[in-house]
Amino acid sequence: MRKYLIFVFILLLNMYLITGEGKAEEDAPELTSEAAILMDTQSGAILYGKNEEIQMYPASLTKIATAIYAIETANLTDQITIGEEVLDIDGTRVYLNPGEQVSLKKLVQGMMINSGNDAALAIAIHLDGSLENFTRNFNEFLEEKIGVKATHFVNPHGLFDENHYTTAKDLGLILNYAMKNEDFQEIFGTKQMEWDGESWDTTLLSHHRMLKGEIPYEEVTGGKTGFVDQSKQTLATTAENGQIKLTAILLKSEFKRRIYQDTIKLFEYGFANFHSTQIMKGEKFENGKLKFKADDDIYLTEPVEQAERVVDSDGVLRIENDRGETIQSVELKALIEKKPEVKKTTQEPEQSSILSFNTILGAIVLIIGAAVLVMNRRQKKNRRARSR
């Protein structure tokens, strides 16, 4: 009987773990890539991470950062004269000729769609005059504008250098920042374009197999691939399903096939478990007698089931799942209620008027009293005169 009860207990425990609190943990994907991150593109909430803060080599995912840096610091209609330096570049190219005139937008497209290293170098020289100046200004932009913490780039294309590194988390921050820009969104989501160059006339096709449809996944909205021997396969992808927009970064996968499998696993996990909501500027929240408000429109990432919003006494709004784990936190602004204004009464002027009236009345009484006193004295004087 005792053995039977133990068996039943273990069976019930396993059923609980399968159907209850253990479900979300079991849903978390197992990946073969060495580092990865899944983020809400709009809120920035981290939904999954694996070695996401370990510094690694990004290969051509660097070009995502170069693209948004170029878009925000120059004009895409700028006409650029290609220099001799493009002849010495290694790796994938769009076969630019020295002296050729190309718009900045076309160079960004060639760099992102066909991963042209010569286009990336031409962009860097145009923006800052030299690779040295570009490196300095590029890193300052990433740190100050985007807030990366563990990234240092020494070139615009991602060809290997031991001092050229980043993390999955930083790349996620960079891509999320870039996706707020409509020009970047358009280029990042381009599957193909006609390329009419002096020495190369062709149709450029995205290298991203999910974006161009070789691996069907209709929710994909953009992507960039990368590879050098030291970094192995790297991949950046965005997708949306009408409920949430997702950003996936995968680093150092041995095989191209597996890095796409890992990306799909991340998206399936994100779409199944989370959705995006928004609180509007001025929306109010309370913690006891303390009141707070949203200082701007804010995107929130919430679990599909059993989400809870908790506001602490410092005005931090936390989104928690059913296990009390924080999915996202945002700072609210303290709401200081104005004390009701006390209207001034008209008593003071009335008191002033009464005071003036009393003063005048008192003066009149004194005058009358003085007059009566004088008259009494005169009457006494007259009586005395008569009695004599």
DSSP state of 52: T
Q: Which residue has the tokens 């970047």?
A: 184
CA distance 116 to 112: 7
Ramachandran quadrant class, 324 (left: phi over 0; alpha: psi -120 to 50; beta: rest): left
63 is catalytic: yes
Annotated active-site residue in 33, 43, 115, 276:
115
Strand partners for 204: 193
H/E stretch holding 300:
strand 298-303
Annotated active-site residue in 33, 43, 63, 169:
63
CA nearest neighbour of 289 among 264, 318, 273, 311:
311
CA distance 271 to 280: 24
Residue 45 has φ and ψ, to the nearest 5°, of: -60, 135
CA distance 264 to 151: 26
Asked if 289 contacts 334 with a C-beta cutoff of 8 angstroms, the reply is no
Tell me the CA distances in angstroms from 325 to 25, 148, 165, 169, one per residue in order: 12, 25, 31, 20
Query: Which of helix, strand or coil describes residue 309?
Result: strand
Annotated active-site residue in 60, 231, 253, 276:
60
* DSSP-H helix ranges across 179-230: 182-188
* DSSP-H helix ranges across 281-331: none
Asked if 375 contacts 383 with a C-beta cutoff of 8 angstroms, the reply is no
* CB within 8 Å of 36: residues ≥ 6 apart: 48, 49, 50, 51, 52, 168, 248, 249, 250, 251, 262, 266
Is 284 labelled a binding residue?
A: no
103 is catalytic: no
252 is catalytic: no
* Residues acting as catalytic residues: 60, 63, 115
Residues annotated in the binding site for substrate, as ranges?
Answer: 224
Residues annotated in the binding site, as ranges?
Answer: 224
